[in-house]
Structure 1
């Protein structure tokens, strides 16, 4: 373990300091900053702007770290009143880190968001960066140790209520203190607080000065246009992102690197399988559409492909899809092409042969715990009805979902079906077989679903993931690209 990181906070300054920093509604306001120094600072902090209302200057709270560094390098006298941090009694987590967890934490602690471009560290260290590790590898444990090491008020941001409750329980158990909560009908601030992304989006500007560290679980969500504002409105100098799948098809992970920090540590499932995670195999089953399905699929694909050809849309990236959606609002042909693509996907994802293949898989794994993943609610319900399997979708109530998962955990249920809901953000009981009947084909989705079966098995057995793909369809091409 690397030596303890310096605890950052308000820098001691003389009372007659010429420049005063304050937090205000998601920004840092500067008073007493002369025009000459402002011009110099703007070279390092381009977002520094004049504020006609106050006669001072402002930067987004996100830039508090770089502003501090720039002021220190200019040897400016500063009275820093940005962060309003509660004092902590000593935090102590009982977890002992595995070697790779220790490496990940050390890699993060060795970064510094306050360093200038030459690596100078004019003020206290403030780590910032993203850790990418497989589901089941203990990312939460690393975060707990990060909170312990920095011993500063911390906001943990998560995508779902399920994860909010899991984090709250874990933090209360480890640190034996009351944990705040934004979400699920509660708005309670404590030195350590857990929030959903939705609640953090609404609260960030009012609590942006109350935390020295922010942890973004499933940090890839932060790439969304609205959620990015959470990171911009918080002044928290230290930032930790956790994910099993950092890169986004739309390239928004580059924005995440700017507002949280770069990817500083990465491990793939293959690197941990066999010792820390279950060894696993992937079986890819190709099935054929029925003649009727093929006819309908080809007809819809032709409508879709013809429009792309006429419109010169390549459809090789997420931006191409967004362009088609935008056009569909005013162009009837674009709308028909979009609907045709959707109908073709539904035919592919819900083909009769896929359901027949699932029947064979279920028969071949009697007594084993199985999760069946689909892309649409209708298919999940069809699977549920045909095979008498409990199903969890976005329409499943919280109480019913908890009951299904608990019965799956205790063995009353040996198999469940779901439409995307269990990809992430839910503590899924151990399973050793996953069946992907349909999905987006993205590497992120595949990795998330694989992660649901990778926890070490009591008998030391191997995990097995089936990918069922309709041959001679766009799904087959997408699956091939992901593997490549």
Structure 2
């Protein structure tokens, strides 16, 4: 009889298999013969496929892959209709797949529902330490049990464990047999080259991905679908607005450059476009930009074009008219809770100083950030300004007005920023997002792409 064991991120297939077993294994493209140990090996993530193939061939085997005894879990959550439908869709897909729901709609609740339904040790993988701590607190409160943690200075395993992507990448081949279910929060991160190995090294047959924006511009969501399962359920902010999330409005506000700003912008943009025209680079994709960066290493004109592009970007994103418009928005919404988003750390501190706004950037320490968000949650602060770090992976207190002064052309970034004001509302109020765009600049194209 064959034996299946987890070893170093693979399934080791040993034992005294008969000719039928050898034939069945030789016929599997994902199984390789290990000449040194005289066994076969399969990638850990193909564990369910291996079992299915052996069962179909009528080959007997002893399965010792998972050391994951059953758990008795209960939840106090009463899943909303769409959360229940999402969970049902995932279960019907064989306990595999991606659930796409907007920020604030309760993706964590769907995951907890899956943990209760399966009752197996579970690994939750998250992109940031902030999210790691949020998940650990949530699971400890919901299940009244100690929850393990890998990341944030700790390496502590438990039947329910939360890990950062980085820690999971380092330890998946060692601890993979401890979990029957793996949940990837912000699963689009799994499309990154290194992080893909987390899913490949884990044998967990049940897999759930959570995200507000599944598809990636580079097409790597197809890799995620192969490793976790396809998208099995999707609802947008529009689908849930009103019944479950706040109704919302998006107002695009166009501002113009001053004469001096226009002169600087045109000069810089002209240097950039002139080089593109002479070098036959069209900037239609990320590969075109990479080509420009590569050329800048040994071509002074390419380097100057890159620098000019940055100067033009700074002018259009930091336009004085945006700051003046923000002042009027802040005055108009004195009674509202406001988050101001920019793409520039320098602009964050400029706005913080001018309007006395608490600022959160990548330079803000974890303790200070938690203090700012706590005071925002408790109402001591009514507004904050940030550069990117609140887009994802941070539990942001309820706000009802967002102002996007600048950003990238990423649909994901825009969706996440909108989601920061789309929390469930009990007072029937509407959420509002202002999008400030500098007229007759490249920012108009950026704004169109993200929408």
**Matching residue of 1:196:** 164
- Aligned counterparts of 1:56 and 1:309: Cα–Cα separation in 2: 59
User: Following superposition of structure 1 onto structure 2, how do residues 3-402 of structure 1 map, counting pairs within 5 Å?
Assistant: 17=1, 19-32=2-15, 40-41=24-25, 45-88=28-71, 90-112=72-94, 127-402=95-370
Q: Is the 8 A contact 2:408 2:450 kept in 1?
A: no
Show the counterpart of 1:410. Answer: 378
Query: How far 1:217 sits from its partner (Å)?
Result: 0.5
1:249–1:317: 8 Å Cα contact kept in structure 2?
no
Distance (whole Å) between structure 1 residues aligned to residue 139 and residue 329 of structure 2: 40
| 1:242-275 deviation per Cα after TM superposition (whole angstroms, max 9, x unaligned) | 0111111111111111111101100000111011
**Native 8 Å contact 2:411 2:449 kept in 1:** no
- SS of the residue corresponding to residue 74 of structure 2 reads coil
Change (3 A) 1:21 1:328: farther
SS in 1 for 2:45: helix
- Cα distance in 1 for partners of 2:20, 2:264 equals 70
- Could you tell me which runs of 5 or more consecutive residues in structure 2 were left unpaired when the two chains were aligned: none
Q: CA deviation at 1:177?
A: 0.9
Is the contact between residue 129 and residue 264 of structure 1 (CA under 8 Å) also seen in structure 2? yes
Q: What RMSD in Å do the two structures reach over aligned CA positions?
A: 1.8
Cα displacement (A) at 1:153: 0.6
Whether the 8 Å contact between 2:105 and 2:424 is mirrored in structure 1 is no
Maintained 8 Å contact 1:286/1:470: yes
* Structure 1 residues 4-24: Cα deviation after superposition (integer angstroms, max 9, x where no partner): xxxxxxxxxxxxx1x222211
Check conservation: 1:250, 1:319, Cα contact below 8 A.
Answer: no
State the shift of 1:82 in Å.
1.3
- In 1, the alpha carbon distance for the partners of 2:34 and 2:62 equals 19
Equivalent position of 1:10 in the other structure:
none
Shift of the 40–302 alpha-carbon distance from structure 1 to 2, 3 Å rule, reads farther
Distance in 1 of aligned mates of 2:29 and 2:64: 22
Q: Does 1:451 align with 2:451?
A: no
Number of aligned residues: 450
Say whether the 8 Å CA contact 1:437–1:468 is kept in structure 2: yes
Shift, 1:58, TM fit: 1.7
| Residues 379, 38 of structure 1: alpha-carbon distance in 2 compared, 3 angstrom cutoff | farther
SS of equivalent residue, structure 1 residue 245: coil
Unaligned runs of 5+ in 1: 1-16, 113-126
CA-CA distance at 1:386 after TM superposition? 0.8
**Mapped pair 1:425 → 2:393:** yes
Are the aligned partners of 2:409 and 2:448 in contact in 1 as well (CA < 8 Å)? no
